[in-house]
Amino acid sequence: GKKPRGRSTPRRPPKKPSNNQKDPVGVYCRVRPLGAEDEECCIEVISNTTIQLHAPDGLKANRNGEFKETQYSFKKVFGIKTTQRELFADVAKPLVEDLIHCKNGLLFTYGVTGSGKTYTMTGSPGQGGLLPRSLDMIFNSIGPYQAKRYVFKPDDKNGMEVQNQVDALLDRQKRDSQTSVPKTPTTRRIDPEFADMISPEEACKAGEVDEDSSYSVFVSYIEIYNNYIYDLLEETPFDPIKPKPPQSKILREDQNHNMYVAGCTEVEVKSTEEAFEVFWRGQKKRRIANTQLNRESSRSHSVFIIKLAQAPLDADGDNVLQDKSQVNVSQLCLVDLAGSERTSRTRAEGNRLREAGNINQSLMTLRTCIEVLRENQMCGTNKMVPYRDSKVTHLFKNYFDGEGKVRMVVCVNPKADDYEETLLVMRFAEMTQEVEVARPVDRPICGFAAGRRQRNQAFKDELTHRLEERGGPVDGVLNQLLQSFHPLPPCEISGPNDDVTLPRLIDALEKRHKIRKLMVEEYNKTANMLKSVLQEQDSNLLSKENFIQEQRGRLGEKDKMIQNQKNEIDRLEKKSKMLEYKIDILQKTTNIYEEDKRSLQHELESREQRLQREMSEKRRMETRMQGIVTDAKLKWEKECERRVNAKQLEMQNKLWVKDEKLKQLKAIVTEGKTENRQPQRPSREKDKVPAKRSVSPSPVPTVRPDPHFPRPGSVSVASCISEWEQGVPHSRRQGSQSPPDSRKRAQGLPDSLRRRRGRCWTGPLVRPLHRRSHSAGGERWVDHKPTTNVDLDTVLQPNIPNAIKVNAPNEKALSKCDKYVLTHQEFASDGEIQTKLIKGEVFKTRGGGQAVQFTDIETLKQENPVAASRKRRSSETGPDGEPMERNWTNVETRCSVAVEMRAGSNLGPGYQHHGYPKRRKP
C-alpha cells in the first residue's frame, strides 16, 4: 500500500486563482547627457520622480503668450549621473527575483532614436546594461542547482519536458562530438566590444532560491521588423553567391493560452559568458542582415527572451522528477523598441518610408492598446483591446492580461531638436503608468515541501540527539543490543538421543526473540514521539504561515495606502508648483497691464486737454463765421431787394405801355359797334403794385390753348389742367371743366385784362361726393404743417378756408374734421425745394377713434426759367419788341403762366392763377 519511492501525486493543472490586486505599470525615466556642453537643454530633473520640459527658444510662447513648461511624474527618474548598476537595482533586479520564483516579467525601453535605449539595455564594455546584468544575477543565484545539459528539453509548444539520464547523456555526447570548441575556454572573448561587461564586485545574487529544485536557462533572440518576426539564432547555411533572406516566424497560442513564436530557436546556456555570447551572435547576425537588406537597426524591435525551467528533485535529492506536470517555466522578456520618431523626421523615401511607417504603426498599436486598457479600467467599459493589429502587442498580450509584471524605461534626450518627439513620448508614458495589471500569484512547485532536504538532515540530527540523550549514540545502542544476543550454541546433533543441543538452541532463540521485541517496542515508541513532534511542528508552521500571510496582506494594504498618499502628495506638489508658476506669470502680466494703464491714462489726459483746446478754438471759429455769414446774408438780402424793386418797376412800366396800346386798339376795333354803349370802367389793376415774389419762381404747369375760346390769346383753365395732368382719363377731364358762371365772367373781360390782372378762380378744395351748394360751407380740413417746413415766400400759397392748423395731428382736431392735408417739403433732383400736399379723408373707427386714408398728392415746385430769346421768332414780336398775343401758343410762354385747377380737379386746392409771367434771373 506504499507509494513508489521518488514519485509524488500528479499535480492537477493549477486553477488560476482570482486575484483582485492590481499594480500599475512601472514606468521609469532615464535622461541621457547632452552631446555638447553648449547645446540647448530642454529637460530638467526636478526630483527623483519628476522632470520638467522647457520649450526651446523657437517654441517658447504659445497662442496665449504663456511659456510651454510641463511636468511629468514617473515611478523614478534617473539623471545623467545614474550608473548602470543603480538602474539595474531599481528596475530589473525585482523582475529577475520574480523569474526565479516562477513569475514572468516584461521590460521595455522606449524613446526616440539616439535617446540611449540600446545603451540602457545592452551597455558597453565595463558598463553592462540591463540584459547582461540580468543574466549574471540568474546564474549567480542558480549556479549550484543547475541541472545537467539536456535534462530539460523544449517540446516546441512553449513547454518543457524532462528527459531521463540515458537520453540526456546521449545528447551531451552528440553535442561534444559535433563541437570542436573545448568545454572550458582558456581565453576570454577577444572582441573588445564584448569584453568585461560586468565587474565581479558588481555581481548580485537573489535570495531564497529553492535548493530542492533543479534549474536550466534557455535564451532566444528574435527581431520584429516591418511587422515580420525573424529568428536571430537560427542556424541557416550561408550561400555567398545567392544569400537567402531570413524566413518570418508565426505566433501561436499554447495550451495555457499564452502566445509564443513557433519554431523559434531556444539555446540552453550554463553560464553568463555563454548566454552573452549567444546574444552577441544574434546581434552580429542582425547587423549583417541590416547591411544586406539596407535597413536601419533602430527601425526594428529586438526581443531577448530568457526562460527558466525548474523542476523538483526526488526525495533523495539526486535526480529530477520525471514528470512534465511538475516542470515550471517562467520567462523574462527584454524588449528594445524601435525609435518612436515620426516618418517626416526620418527623411526616408520609397521602401524605407513604407517600412518606417509600419514600425510607427506597431508603436501606434501599442499606444492604442494602452489607451483601451486605460479606458476599460477607468471608465468601466469592456472594449476589445486590438492586440492582433501588431506582432509586438500580440506577442505580449498575456502580460497585460495578468501573466506577469510590466516595466518600461523611457529614455529621453534633452537636446532641443528632440523636444517635440520627447513631448509625445512623455504623454504616452504618462498614459501608460495609469494602466493597472493584475498581480501575478505564487505558483506551488510540487507536492513536496520546500527545503525538504534540509529538513531531512535536521530530522536525522534531532534523532541522533534524542538517542544520545537516552543512551548514547545510535551506533552504541545497536552494538549493545547486538552484543546482548547470545551466541548460538553448536547445532550439531550427536545422536538421536541427544536432548541437550535442541533445548539449548531453543533457549537461545527465545532470548533473541525477546530482545527483538524490545527493539521493536523501542522503535515504535521513538516513531510515535517523532510523529507527534512533526505534527506539532507542522501546526506551528501552518499557523506561522497564516500569520505571515495575514501580515503580508496588511502590509500590502499599508504599502498601497502609502503609495496612494505619495502619489497624492506628488500631484499636489506638482499642482502647487504649477500654480506658483502661473501666479508669477499673472503677476508679471498684471504689472505690464498696470504700466500700460498708466501710460494710456496719461495719453488720455493729454488728448482731453488737446480736445478742449480744439473745441474752444472751434467755438471761436463758429462765432466768427456766424458773424461773417450774417453780414453776407444782410448784404445779399439788400441787393436782392434792390434788384427786385428795379425789375418790378420795369415790368410795371412795360405793362402800362402795353395796356395803353391795347386800349387804343380796342377803341379802334369796337368804335363802330359800341357807339351807343358807355365804355367799361377800366381796371385799376395796373395801378396796383404787384405782390412781392420770391427769388425762385413758383412752379407752373404747362398751359395749352383751349379751342373753344374764340381768340388764340385766351386761355381755358380746364383745358390747361387736362393737358398738364397727362394721364387723367377723358371722362375726368370733361368733368373738370370750369363752371359756366366762371367762364362767363372770364369771357366778359378782354384777354389782356385777364392776364394783366391775374384774376384767380376760386373753388372747393377737394372733390366732394355729395354737396348741397357752394354756400353750404363744405368739409372742414385739418391743415398739418410741421414746424420744420421752410417759408418759401412764393406767390402761390395753399389757402384752405375754415381749416384747423396744427403742427402735429391730434385726436381732438381729427374728430372735428373729415379731411386731412399734410404739407411735406423735400429737395428735388435739381436742388430746389419741392412742396407736396398729401390729402386724405378722415374716417371714424369702431373703437371710437379716427383713421386717415390718403387719396391724393399735389406737388408745388420752384424752377428757374431758361432763356427764351432763342425760341422766339422775330415775326412774333411787335414793332416795339413786345410779344404779340399769339405768344400764348408758344410752349415756353404757356408754361410761364401759373394757373389754378378748378373745383373737382385731382390737383385740389393750392394753385391760383396769376397773370404775371415767370420772373427771369437778373
Q: Pick from 732, 728, 755, 730: which is nearest to 899 by CA?
A: 755
Identity of residue 628: I
Write the DSSP symbol of residue 213. E
Does the annotation place 111 within a ligand binding site?
yes
What are the φ and ψ backbone dihedral angles of 699, each rounded to 5 degrees?
A: -75, 140
Instruction: Pinpoint the alpha helices (H) of 670-750.
Output: 717-725, 730-735, 740-747
The answer to whether residues 285 and 126 touch, using CB atoms and an 8 Å cutoff, is no
For residue 332, the SS3 value is: strand
The answer to whether residues 413 and 113 touch, using CB atoms and an 8 Å cutoff, is no
Residue 407: which H helix or E strand, with range?
Answer: strand 404-412
CA distance 431 to 370: 8
Q: For residue 652, how many other CB atoms are within 10 A of its CB?
A: 15
CA distance 796 to 268: 129
CA distance 130 to 121: 5
Residue 293: which H helix or E strand, with range?
Answer: helix 272-293
Q: For residue 113, how many other CB atoms are within 10 A of its CB?
A: 19
Q: Which three cell numbers stand for residue 702?
A: 404747362
Whose grid coordinates read 531638436?
A: 417
Q: Pick from 333, 329, 301, 282: which is nearest to 92 by CA?
A: 333
Cα angle 620, 624, 628 (rounded to 5 degrees) comes to 165
CA distance 691 to 752: 19
Write the DSSP symbol of residue 896. T
What are the φ and ψ backbone dihedral angles of 853, each rounded to 5 degrees?
A: -115, 115
Strand segments, DSSP code E, in 433-581 are 436-438
Does the annotation place 116 within a ligand binding site?
yes
Does the annotation place 696 within a ligand binding site?
no
CA distance 166 to 177: 17
CA distance 898 to 914: 6
Q: Which three cell numbers stand for residue 430?
A: 504618462
CA distance 542 to 536: 10
Does the annotation place 113 within a ligand binding site?
yes
The answer to whether residues 42 and 419 touch, using CB atoms and an 8 Å cutoff, is yes
Write the DSSP symbol of residue 550. H
Q: How many helices (H) and strands (E) does the chain have?
A: 20, 26
DSSP assignment of 11-24 equals PPPPP------EEE
**Greatest distance between any 2 Cα atoms in the chain:** 237
Q: Pick from 712, 688, 713, 717: which is nearest to 700 by CA?
A: 717
CA distance 555 to 561: 10
Q: Half-sphere exposure of 619 toward its Cβ, with a 13 Å CA cutoff?
A: 5
Whose grid coordinates read 480744439?
A: 614
CA distance 16 to 439: 12
Sign for the pseudo-dihedral over CA of 261, 263, 268, 273: negative
CA distance 603 to 849: 60
Q: Pick from 425, 436, 426: which is nearest to 378 by CA?
A: 436
Do the strands 404-412 and 833-844 form a parallel or antiparallel pair, or are they unpaired? unpaired
Instruction: Pinpoint the alpha helices (H) of 101-151.
Output: 117-121, 130-142
User: What are residue 415's DSSP bridge partners?
Assistant: 41
CA distance 467 to 501: 38
Does the annotation place 748 within a ligand binding site?
no
Does the annotation place 114 within a ligand binding site?
yes
Q: What residue numbers does the annotated binding site for ATP cover?
A: 111-118
Q: What residue numbers does the annotated binding site cover?
A: 111-118
